[in-house]
């Protein structure tokens, strides 16, 4: 039998510590005015506890999700963790999360697609539901960006923050709601503009890689900005066209929160009015894989059954994409 995958619940979790623009301006040569006007960010959350990592934030979001959806962890079939900051290279963060939340009947894996990872994971998870094989799939986007941010590099340290957001996917047998369509893309030629050079099989950790600060994010901000503005708008327009949606048909645009100027440009091209765009970048900065589920969580009370929602993202890889879904509760 045909079925769609619907989001049946959402939850977010961010650490307590608030890193403000003013505090950053004491660490590097920057200012609240520059950060606010160039990015839209006012503050971000940082996971300060050295003994906690991405899996802990993801587990916290998932525990809230399980409670909200009245689900026992033993009912969960699959956990897909979208992240670029796994606790370690292996075991996968999904394995650690499953253990932490007691999802002892689930399997799981990590999915790496930088800022687009939540979209890639949501699409992947929805296919497992549509196949009929699984009934409860959790997709969690979680990143402890503070573990790979160079707090002496003003170009990158002002942008990123830590956080996690999770959704529950279940079958929607009406086939009217849930994930309707997706367009996902990669272009590895863009990899050189946004990357972490060391720590993988090409450049394992050495004294040199540490001295050269190669275990931190490198970003050519201007180039990434240029591609992000074009590609996020292109793919959003494409998914609207092929689903016969006009700007006025879109109830909510949920964009990746990398830069307010990228979000505004995307909404403008889609002809979606600003009051239909979810924006929380001012509070959390760019939490990479967590931005979109954190938005859905913050806006949950405003969402209605049947709402037309477009999710859109662009990130390192390059990776980008858009998903069209109808809200199911
Ligand atoms: O989520 C993954 C994808 N990532 C993105 O989408 C991020 C895309 N890029 C961006 O959002 C922006 O490029 C940044 C926010 C990273 C930088 O903003 P920008 O408007 O592109 O600045 P810029 O790199 O063109 O730099 C303009 C000036 C430069 O000074 P000069 O050369 O004009 O004297 C920079 O050195 O601003 C300077 N600058 C800063 N000044 C104060 C760069 N960073 C800072 C800073 N504070 N934090």
Is the CB of 259 inside a 6 Å radius of any atom of ligand 1?
Answer: yes
Reported as a single tens digit per residue, the pLDDT across 145-167 is: 999 999 999 999 999 999 999 99
Closest by alpha carbon to 43, among 295, 290, 282, 289?
282
**Residue 110 binned pLDDT confidence (cut-offs 50, 70, 90):** very high
Instruction: Read off the pLDDT of each residue in 133-137 and give the average, rounded to a whole number.
Output: 97
Instruction: Read off the pLDDT of each residue in 119-131 and give the average, rounded to a whole number.
Output: 97
Residue 1, pLDDT score? 59
Residue 256 and residue 192 in one domain: yes
22 is a catalytic site residue: no
Is the CB of 292 inside a 6 Å radius of any atom of ligand 1?
Answer: no
Residue 30 and residue 131 in one domain: yes
**Residue 174 binned pLDDT confidence (cut-offs 50, 70, 90):** confident
Residue 134 and residue 19 in one domain: yes
* Other beta carbons within 10 Å of 74: 10
Residue 27, pLDDT score? 97
286 is a catalytic site residue: yes
Residue 168 predicted with pLDDT over 90: yes
The one catalytic residue in 256, 259, 280, 295 is 256
Range of the domain at 227: 179-326
**Residue 2 binned pLDDT confidence (cut-offs 50, 70, 90):** confident
Residue 142 and residue 266 in one domain: no
**Verdict on whether the full-model pTM lies above 0.75:** yes
| 162-172 and 4-13 strand pairing | antiparallel
* Ligand 1 center from residue 32 Cα (angstroms): 14
* Structural domain count, the chain: 2
Reported as a single tens digit per residue, the pLDDT across 42-62 is: 999 999 999 999 999 999 999
- Euclidean distance between CA atoms 136 and 117, whole angstroms: 20
Residue 207 and residue 279 in one domain: yes
* Ligand 1 center from residue 6 Cα (angstroms): 38
Residue 255 and residue 302 in one domain: yes
- Euclidean distance between CA atoms 35 and 124, whole angstroms: 35
Reported as a single tens digit per residue, the pLDDT across 246-290 is: 999 999 999 999 999 999 999 999 999 999 999 999 999 999 999
Residue 173, pLDDT score? 82
CATH number for the domain spanning 218: value is: 3.40.47.10
Helix (H) or strand (E) holding 23: helix 21-27
Residue 127 and residue 18 in one domain: yes
Last residue of a domain, one of 145, 176, 207: 176
* Ligand 1 center from residue 156 Cα (angstroms): 8
Bridge partner list, 320 = 185, 314
Residue 175 predicted with pLDDT over 90: no
pLDDT, mean over the chain: 97
Residue 10, pLDDT score? 98
Last residue of a domain, one of 161, 176, 191: 176
Is the CB of 221 inside a 6 Å radius of any atom of ligand 1?
Answer: yes
The one catalytic residue in 81, 95, 115, 130 is 115
* Ligand 1 center from residue 129 Cα (angstroms): 41
Nearest CA to ligand 1 atom 20: 38
Q: Taking the CA of residue 269 as centre, how many other CA atoms within 13 Å lie in the half-sphere pointing to its CB?
A: 20
Is the CB of 263 inside a 6 Å radius of any atom of ligand 1?
Answer: no
* Ligand 1 center from residue 34 Cα (angstroms): 9
Is the CB of 224 inside a 6 Å radius of any atom of ligand 1?
Answer: yes
Residue 113 predicted with pLDDT over 80: yes
């Amino acid at each position: 039998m045909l079925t769609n995958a619907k989001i049946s619940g959402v939850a977010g979790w961010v650490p307590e510590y608030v890193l403000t623009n003013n505090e950053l301006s004491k660490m590097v040569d920057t200012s609240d005015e520059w950060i606010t006007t160039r990015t839209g960010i006012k503050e971000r959350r940082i996971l300060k506890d050295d003994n906690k990592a991405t899996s802990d934030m993801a587990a916290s979001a998932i525990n809230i999700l399980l409670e909200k959806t009245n689900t026992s962890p033993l009912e969960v079939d699959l956990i897909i963790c979208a992240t670029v900051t796994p606790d370690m290279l292996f075991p996968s963060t999904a394995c650690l999360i499953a253990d932490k939340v007691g999802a002892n009947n689930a399997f799981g894996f990590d999915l790496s697609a930088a800022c687009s990872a939540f979209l890639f994971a949501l699409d992947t998870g929805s296919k497992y539901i549509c196949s009929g094989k699984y009934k409860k799939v959790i997709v969690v986007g979680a990143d402890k960006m503070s573990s790979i941010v160079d707090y002496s590099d003003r170009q990158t340290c002002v942008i990123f923050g830590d956080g996690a957001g999770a959704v529950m996917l279940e079958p929607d047998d009406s086939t009217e709601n849930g994930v309707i369509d997706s367009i996902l893309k990669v272009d590895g030629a863009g990899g050189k503009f946004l990357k972490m050079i060391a720590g993988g099989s090409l450049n394992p950790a050495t004294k040199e890689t540490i001295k050269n600060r190669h275990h931190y994010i490198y970003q050519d901000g201007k180039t990434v900005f240029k591609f992000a503005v074009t590609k996020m708008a292109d793919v959003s327009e494409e998914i609207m066209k092929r689903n016969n949606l006009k700007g006025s048909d879109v109830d909510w645009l949920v964009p990746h929160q990398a830069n307010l100027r990228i979000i505004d440009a995307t909404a403008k091209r889609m002809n979606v009015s600003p009051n239909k765009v979810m924006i929380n970048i001012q509070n959390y900065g760019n939490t990479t894989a967590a931005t979109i589920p954190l938005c859905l969580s913050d806006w949950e009370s405003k969402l209605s059954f049947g709402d037309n929602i477009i999710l859109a993202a662009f990130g390192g890889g390059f990776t980008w994409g858009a998903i069209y879904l109808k809200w199911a509760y």
